Structure 1
Amino acid sequence: MRVRPLVSLIALSLALAGGPALAQQNIDKVFGGITAEAGQSYGSLETVNGGITIREGATVRSAETVNGGITIERNAQVGDVETVNGGISLDDGARVRGAEAVNGGIRLGRDAKVDEDVDVVNGGIKASQGTVIGGDASNVNGAISLIRAEVGGDVTTTNGDITLTGATIRGDLRVEKPTGSWWRSNSNRLPRIVIGEGSVVEGELLFEREVELYVHPGAKVGKQTGTAPRMLDSADAPRSDD
């Protein structure tokens, strides 16, 4: 007759004992940085003024800051990663669900993986060899450089350069028409699009504004709308204003 109450009491005691440990998995700050230690598991990491460092092999549900960068070390795994003022860096073999920055670039190391999208407003995107972006890669201002990397969706910019070096884009490569202040601040500069040797764009080349376009004879591209290509026979494409 006493067994069931005793089991219930033990279960309650374990739950209460485990409460503080579970609470520690979520870290929320206003001032100061956050570090997720190597090999450990965490819930959400959030700070307003400070950077976030996720050590090698750590697992984190999400990481978000307003003023600060986010560094994800080798083989760490994170869900959504977001910052307003600061960059995002994934070391070799790191993996995130999605990455988003407003003022700051995103750098992806060798064999890094982003399951969904990489979005930037003001900042570049650089993906190294073996990197896979499952969704789209886009920015407004800043260079996009894909070096033997793969993007499963579209690659889009408004005022930035796009350089493909042995890279593959499964979707479209798009340059959108600037509007408002974006256009006024960049009106004298044309985006430079370089599709280097061994690169593949399976979708279309869609240009809503004038660009400088260089396509290596050894590259493969889909249907093109807009500017006619200027053929490229070297890895370094000069700008027309150089």
Structure 2
Amino acid sequence: MTRTRTILLLTLALAATPALAQQEISKVNGSVTAEAGQTYADLETVNGSIRIADGAIAEDASTVNGSINAGEKARVESLETVNGSIRVGKDVQVRSDIETVNGSIFTDRGTTVGGNVSTVNGAIGLVATQLTGSIETVTGDITVGVGSHVKGGLKVEKPRGVNFSLKPKRDPRIIIGPNAVVEGPLVFEREVVLYVHTSAKIGPVTGATAKPYSTDTAPTE
């Protein structure tokens, strides 16, 4: 009886003990690294890059001046930078958004994104990626690559403000690749060049005329 009571009390004590807090990394200057296979809270820096190694788990990863790289099978809440690119490896899970202002975004095969993917000045490329939200940019090219599925729409916004007073050198290229799907509307508030593979499926298009192609890659201009 005494032994049983001791085991019961120990079990209750362990259950009442709070779990060890996940490690949060926050810096002003310097890069941040989430080690492979480890679990973290938020990863933050102002002037520096963020590297999330293969299989690492983290909450929000954000920087102002720096790139973000998420390795294969990493799991994160969101990825955000202002001046820097974001590269996501294979089989990564991003529960919310991927955002940058000045920089490109690339997601590799098997990646799932629960929110939106957006840039202002930077290209966006998806390869065999499942995106629950939408894609948005102002001046960047967009490639919804082979086998990708975008449940939301796709939007290229009209340039606004003094930074966009001059006409850009060329119109953005929008490519919907082989066996890709964009379920929502494709809205273009500025001139673009839109290529859609004959095997792709898209929603209604506003502001552009789709040019079909059937080769492995879209035509070069």
Q: Give TM-score scaled by structure 2 length.
A: 0.87
Of 45, 49, 55, the match for 2:35: 55
Which amino acid letter does the alignment assign opposite residue 136 of structure 2? T
Of 129, 137, 145, the match for 1:165: 145
Which amino acid letter does the alignment assign opposite residue 155 of structure 2? R
Query: In the TM superposition, what are the counterparts of 1:75-114 in structure 2 within 5 Å?
Result: 75-114=55-94
Q: Cα offset for 1:238?
A: 3.6
2-structure distance, mates of 1:138, 1:157: 6
Other-structure match for 1:232: 213
Of 192, 197, 220, the match for 2:178: 197
Question: Quick check: 1:139–1:156 contact (8 Å CA) kept in 2?
Answer: yes
2-structure distance, mates of 1:160, 1:186: 14
Question: Quick check: 1:159–1:186 contact (8 Å CA) kept in 2?
Answer: no
Q: Is 1:120 the equivalent of 2:100?
A: yes
| Cα gap change, 1:186 to 1:115, in 2 (>3 Å) | farther
Q: Cα offset for 1:48?
A: 0.6
2-structure distance, mates of 1:182, 1:135: 28
Of 39, 43, 48, the match for 1:68: 48
2-structure distance, mates of 1:87, 1:188: 25
Question: Quick check: 1:169–1:201 contact (8 Å CA) kept in 2?
Answer: yes
1-structure distance, mates of 2:194, 2:125: 15
Q: Cα offset for 1:180?
A: 1.8
Runs in 1 of length 4+ with deviation above 4 angstroms? none
**Alpha carbon RMSD of aligned pairs, Å?**
1.6
2-structure distance, mates of 1:194, 1:63: 33
| Cα gap change, 1:239 to 1:182, in 2 (>3 Å) | farther
Q: Is 1:45 the equivalent of 2:25?
A: yes
| Secondary structure, counterpart of 2:133 in structure 1 | coil
In the TM superposition, what whole-angstrom CA distance separates every residue of 1:127-178 from its partner, at most 9, and x where no partner exists?
Answer: 0000011000000011101000111001011100001112110000110111
Other-structure match for 1:184: 165
| Secondary structure, counterpart of 1:74 in structure 2 | coil
Q: Cα offset for 1:239?
A: 4.4
Which amino acid letter does the alignment assign opposite residue 194 of structure 1? I
Of 199, 202, 205, the match for 1:221: 202
1-structure distance, mates of 2:198, 2:43: 42
1-structure distance, mates of 2:185, 2:81: 26
Question: Quick check: 1:192–1:239 contact (8 Å CA) kept in 2?
Answer: no
2-structure distance, mates of 1:181, 1:84: 22
Flag structure 2 segments of 5+ consecutive residues without an equivalent. Answer: 1-19
Q: Cα offset for 1:185?
A: 5.2
1-structure distance, mates of 2:66, 2:37: 23
Q: Percent identity?
A: 44
2-structure distance, mates of 1:214, 1:66: 38
Q: Give TM-score scaled by structure 1 length.
A: 0.80
| Secondary structure, counterpart of 2:40 in structure 1 | strand
Flag structure 1 segments of 5+ consecutive residues without an equivalent. Answer: 1-21, 26-41
